[in-house]
Every structure is written in C-alpha cells, then in structure tokens.
Amino acid sequence: MSYTSEHHHMAPVLAKARQLDIATNPAPEALFEPLTAGFNLWCTPEDHPQGWEGIPLIAGTFSKPCGFLGTASWKWDDDRIIGITLDTDAYDLADHRPQVFSRKAGKDWISIHNRPEDLEWAEQKIHWLFSQAGVPCPLIVVE
C-alpha cells in the first residue's frame, strides 16, 4: 500500500461528500464538507442528534441553516488507512444553552466534546456516506 493507493481507495467517498457538500447542495442529505483526508459533518434543524431540538441554526455561507458537529478523518498507520477518527464538538449547544453546556454551569455541566448522542448520529451518517459511495466503512475510532 501507499499514500497514493490509499487516497485512491477513498476517492469515491470524497467524491460523494463533494456531491453532498452542505456549502452548495440544499438537499436534506447534504450534511458533509469534504476535506483532503476526510470530511466535516454538519447538522440541520431537520436532521440532528438528540439534544439539538430548538437550537437556532443559521445558513451563513452554506446552502441551508446548519451547525458544525464534527470531523471524520482518515486514521493512518504508516501508509495505510486503518480507520476513521471521529471527533465531535457541539459548539452551537454551548452557545445557545450555556447553563447546561458550559463550565460556568458548575460541576454538573455537560461537555460539548464527543457527546454520546453526537457520536451516535455522526457514526450513522459516516456509515451512510460510505454505503452511498460503495466503499466498505472502516472501523470508526473516537480519540
């Protein structure tokens, strides 16, 4: 294997992510932002993890209202892709519900980093994207 062959193997996934790019595609399933070696995941008022209900989201420069959820990137071992590294940060929850999702809330605050609900939703979207691209989804690792 080589970096080139591994990138070639993942090319259909990135092509599908470009097709479903939230920046330009208003379709409900367009929740991805392609990167060089992975993609960002965004949620919308209609499609989001549990706990995002009622969070006001804006379109900004994207095709529809959305909120950043996380990043899925290729997990490398030397020159081989051995999985997908998933990392989530629900910034919109902290911005709009600081009484729950902020250290200022006290000892009972809930971290926005890798919330179980966000990870579960993101993993479903990752598996779906890979299936749409016709590529077997590697192991998803949360670090």
Residue 3 above 50 pLDDT? no
The token pair that represents 46 in the structure block: 């209609």
110-113, long-range: CB < 8 A, 24+ apart: 113/87, 113/88, 113/89
- Per residue in 105-135, pLDDT (tens digit) is 567 778 899 999 999 999 999 999 999 999 9
CA-based radius of gyration for the chain: 16
pTM for the full predicted model: 0.91
* Closest by Cα among 50, 40, 37, 30 to 70: 40
90-119 average pLDDT score = 86
- Per residue in 26-72, pLDDT (tens digit) is 999 999 999 999 999 999 999 999 999 999 999 999 999 999 999 99
**Spatial contact of 86 and 142, defined as CB atoms under 8 Å apart:** yes
